[in-house]
Amino acid sequence: MKKERETAFIKHLYHLNKWVKTDELAAYFSVSTRTIRHYISEINALPYPEPLIMSSNNNYKINEAMFLKYREQEMQENDIPETPIERTHYLLKNLIYNQEGLNIFDASEELCVSVASIESDLKKVRAYLKKYDLHLQRKMDEIQLIGTEMNKRKLMSQIFQDESNEEFLHLADIQSDFYGYDLSLMKEKVIDILNRYHLFINGYTINNILLHLVIAIERIKSNHVLEHINLKQIKDRYEYDAALDIAAEIEKITGVTFDTTELYYLTLLLASKTTTLKYNDITTENINDFIEPEYTRLANRIIHKVNEYFFIDISDDEFMIKFTLHLRNLITRAKFNRYSKNPMTKKIKSSYPLIYDLSVFIANEIQEEENIRIIEDEIAYIAFHIGAFFERKKELKNKVLCAIICPEYYGMQMETVNRLTQTFSDSLEITRVLSTTDTNIPQLNVDLVISTVEVPPIADIELIQINPFLTEADQSKIIAKISEMKKRRYFTNMKSYLGQYFEPALFKKNIYFDDEIKMIRFMGEELVELDRIDQHYVESIIEREKISSTAFNHIVAVPHSMKMNGKRTSISIVINDKPVKWGESTVQIIAMIVMNREERKEFRSIFDSFIEVLSESKNANKIIESKNYEDFIRILSELMKHHN
């Protein structure tokens, strides 16, 4: 019998964990019943104190006590650890699996190293055990692992994750270590149950739950049970009902029964790692129907403090809902010391220091309020929410915030909302869906209301009435309105930006010098006095001008430096009624550009539009007509408006 077939046969029987008929085994392995009996005969000839497979009236079952010895021997034969880390993990696993402990001399022989090396490895083992509240007890040459079963399971989980050597825990990694289980089936069943209870879990976390389940199954099979805990405090949680259903599926698949204590810890796991699936059903008004009010109050206090200390307003409804749900799970994990590992922690700390720093502040507020400890991995998860909030804010800058008013009638409301979402996903952000017009719409903080019923005019909010079933005419009406609103928003922002970069103090009329270098020095000295640049920057502008003239169209010159080390991005403007000499050309508009590296992204769109406007002679001539600063801003705004 080939070794691979022998291993598969033994593990299949182990994970069935029941008496199995010969013909069932023959069908599973696609061989005859005679071959099955031959397999069993060969396996039971292996040198163990008792047969590895028990038999009774053509039924077979694994001998679990002998299987543990078989697995231990297989580990030794197939993969002898070589490095100190590998030996440390090997010793830890043996200590967990062998309740009676291990002998130092036996370990030395099995690992093919000296006793001194084992003693050195045991120092690393002791250090590793401290964070799991476990310790070693030694009697002569025998070592035993002492501590609670729950802490031993936590240790098993950590060893597995260390050995997988991956940022994220993959199903295939678990499957390779816990052979014989159909983890894909188990995963499918768990997700189905969670969906049934409207619990959401991401792809990374579901694999952590599966690892918890297979470790629990293995330990129960080996008669390592958890210390008894009263279920009373968690029975009223909806996660408990989900845990009951998962346990029932586990029993069907593996034959292993979860007792009340196993159910307790599975419930806690679900409570700490899942969240409600129906985000769209939750609003800031009804959130307390889904989550205990103390978490909402805590979230509001934290949001207020962030605004107070950092002047950052994160009181967005979507952020508030998701952050509150996350708070509940985080606090549950911390109270029961079931922290969530985050493979992205180092990257977040190094790549997004400001977001991480804000998350540290939030974590500290939670710690003080709840008297809990929050580790770095959990802080990184808070950073996910903060980062997502800022990203969403960026997206919303380009979208029109919209409320939909549509009566709920035979599914009409969802049909309308879905059509609008699909058609205008790039330009509309639907933040609220209402069935009636009774709500105080101005308090919804939206730019546009789309309604299938007649709505009276609303101050400062655009309104479109459409048909109950979206027509092409309705779509055209919405497209036109969005375009109009975006253009208006763009030019409102544009005026603000123009005021930011084109200041009255930096606007001059009719300044004349013999050549461009004298003009650059005049304009540059003014910028130095206003503390926008230093003297070196002025020289770098002159150096750039000497390389190649910045004049174009015989009307405009744009002197600038090739560096971006200005103290603040600014544009100094000189407009002359008569042309002045500029290199081989003459100009009437001189726009000296000062760039600051940190501000370049915000400035870019203004700068590009400004240069495009000036590149057309007719536009430049209109700007020359400006009599003063206010006139200049008005004319430039109009030109940029028509140009875009």
Position 136 scores a pLDDT of 92
Query: Does 381 reside within a domain?
Result: yes
* pLDDT tens figures, 400-412: 888 888 876 655 6
Query: Does 156 reside within a domain?
Result: no
Structure tokens at 591: 């726009």
Residue 628, domain CATH = 3.40.930.10
Q: What is the pTM of this model?
A: 0.46
- Structural domain span for residue 336: 279-391
Percentage of residues of the chain with pLDDT beyond 90:
18
Whether residues 521 and 483 fall in one domain: no
Whether residues 512 and 602 fall in one domain: yes
Query: Does 233 reside within a domain?
Result: yes
Residue 237, domain CATH = 1.10.1790.10
Residue 453, domain CATH = 3.40.50.2300
| Cα distance between residue 471 and residue 464, in whole Å | 13
pLDDT at 230 over 70: no
Q: Which of 490, 511, 526 is the last residue of a domain?
A: 490
pLDDT at 541 over 90: yes
Whether residues 271 and 287 fall in one domain: no
Query: Does 161 reside within a domain?
Result: no
Round the average pLDDT of the chain to a whole number and report it: 82
Please, are residues 500 and 568 in contact by the beta-carbon 8 Å criterion? no
Query: Does 15 reside within a domain?
Result: yes
Query: Does 258 reside within a domain?
Result: yes
Q: Which residue has the higher pLDDT, 534 or 204?
A: 534
Whether residues 464 and 375 fall in one domain: no
| Cα distance between residue 183 and residue 266, in whole Å | 17
Position 396 scores a pLDDT of 64
Residue 25, domain CATH = 1.10.10.2340
Position 17 scores a pLDDT of 75
Instruction: Give the pairing type, strands 556-557 and 585-596.
Output: parallel
Whether residues 528 and 605 fall in one domain: yes
Whether residues 508 and 613 fall in one domain: yes
* pLDDT tens figures, 109-134: 888 888 888 888 899 999 889 888 89
pLDDT at 336 over 80: no
Distances (CA, A) of 615 to 221, 314, 552, 555, 585: 80, 42, 8, 9, 15
Position 528 scores a pLDDT of 93
Question: Residue 615, Cβ neighbours under 10 Å: how many?
Answer: 13
Query: Does 235 reside within a domain?
Result: yes
Query: Does 497 reside within a domain?
Result: no
Residue 110, domain CATH = 1.10.10.10
For residue 257, the Cα-to-chain-centroid distance in whole angstroms is 35
pLDDT at 349 over 80: no
Whether residues 313 and 262 fall in one domain: no
Whether residues 514 and 625 fall in one domain: yes
The candidate with the shortest Cα–Cα distance to 302, out of 390, 310, 288, 371, is 310
- Sequence-distant contacts of 632-641: CB under 8 A, at least 24 apart: 632/502, 632/507, 632/573, 632/575, 633/495, 633/498, 633/499, 633/502, 636/498, 636/502, 636/610, 637/491, 637/494, 637/495, 637/498, 639/613, 640/491, 640/494, 640/609, 640/610, 640/613, 641/487, 641/491, 641/494
Q: Which of 13, 40, 70 is the last residue of a domain?
A: 70
Position 522 scores a pLDDT of 95
* pLDDT tens figures, 437-485: 555 666 667 888 888 888 777 777 888 999 878 888 888 999 998 888 8
Count of domains in the chain? 6
Most confident of 229-233, 322-326, 437-441, 569-573: 569-573
Contacts of 57 (CB under 8 A, 6+ apart): none
Whether residues 545 and 593 fall in one domain: yes
Whether residues 434 and 485 fall in one domain: yes
Average pLDDT over every residue of 376-390: 86
Average pLDDT over every residue of 314-324: 82
Average pLDDT over every residue of 538-549: 89
Q: Which of 114, 147, 180 is the last residue of a domain?
A: 147
Whether residues 471 and 486 fall in one domain: yes
Whether residues 382 and 406 fall in one domain: no
Position 109 scores a pLDDT of 82
Buried b (16+ CB within 10 A) or exposed e, 353-383: eebbebbbebbebbeeebebebebebbbbbb
Average pLDDT over every residue of 242-247: 92
Question: Residue 292, Cβ neighbours under 10 Å: how many?
Answer: 10
